[in-house]
Structure formats: structure tokens, C-alpha cells
Structure 1
Amino acid sequence: MANLNPSHTTKQLLAGYSGIVFGGFGLHKFILGYTTEGFIMLAIAVGGGSVTYGFTLLVMQLIGLIEGIIYLNKDHEDFVNTYFINKQGWF
């Protein structure tokens, strides 16, 4: 049984919705506490997007969309075990 904290439910919903809306900029990673992964997504989206005319921003947005849907569809205990206890940073 995971250490269930009420803030985990809030973070699950907030990370899921922000992954869908602002996923290209890695906001959902920052919400979950994965700053390195968040900066990687932000750098690829902004830096690469300026060079590739926004193509990499679209790719990062697709990744954020997929991760947001995964966050919202996971059972709460499974979400806590995966992202807070085991610290899985990607997908």
C-alpha cells in the first residue's frame, strides 16, 4: 500500500490536465518534481522549435498529451507508486 497523501491526488489531476494543455513546455514534469525532465522538454520545445519552425514543439506537445492522458487514466495508488515512490520520469 502506497503512502497516500491528499496532495498526490491534486498533483495527479493538475499534472494530467497541464500535460494535455501545456505538455510541450514540460509543465507537468515540474508539477511532479521532475525538474531535469521538465527543463529537457522546455529546451527541446523552445530551442528546437525556433530552429525547426515549431516541429519539435509539436512533438513535445504530443509527448505531453500522451503523458497527461496516462496520468489521468492511472489508478491513484498506481500513480503514486510509479511517479512518487519509484520516480519514473518518462512515460
Structure 2
Amino acid sequence: MNDHAHGSEPSTAECADFLEQIVYFLDNELDDADCAAVRAHLDTCNPCLERYDLQRTVKAVVARSCSEVAPAELRAKVLVRLTEVRISTELG
């Protein structure tokens, strides 16, 4: 394993493994040992830390957006359009 704290570049394979785990880390789906390994890697690897920060930000924005309710007028327009598309598909 590379020692990132002393300036050596992380290996592509090593980072790929951690980048896959970041999604599970963000969702609190890793056991304690895996969480500790991901935290240790993020502490020593700036590229992975930047990707983690980006994914965390995107996840927060999506979560916030999902709690918003569309205005009634927009909702009605979307429902009408969906009905039109469904009818068009059934007749086509």
C-alpha cells in the first residue's frame, strides 16, 4: 500500500476500491473496520477526498430536492402530458 502522507501517488487500483466503497460509506452501510479503512484512505488521498466531498454534496442536494413539492399547476401539466403520451402510445 502506498504511503500517501509522504507524497507518493495512490495506485489506481487502490483508489478504485475505495471509490466504490464511498457510496456505501455515505449511506452508513459499511461495518466499523471498512469505515475505518475508508476514513484512513480519505485522510491520506486528496483526489479521493475531493470525490467523496463531491458525492456527499450531490447526495445532500438530491435529498433536499426530494423533499420539495412541485406546485399544483406544474403537477397538473405533467399529469396531462403523461396521459397524452400514454394515449398516443396505445393508439400508435
Q: Is the shorter-chain TM-score for this pair beyond 0.5, marking a shared fold?
A: no
Which one has more relative contact order, counting CA pairs under 8 Å at least 6 apart? 1
Shorter chain as denominator, the TM-score bin is under 0.3
TM-score (norm 2): 0.27
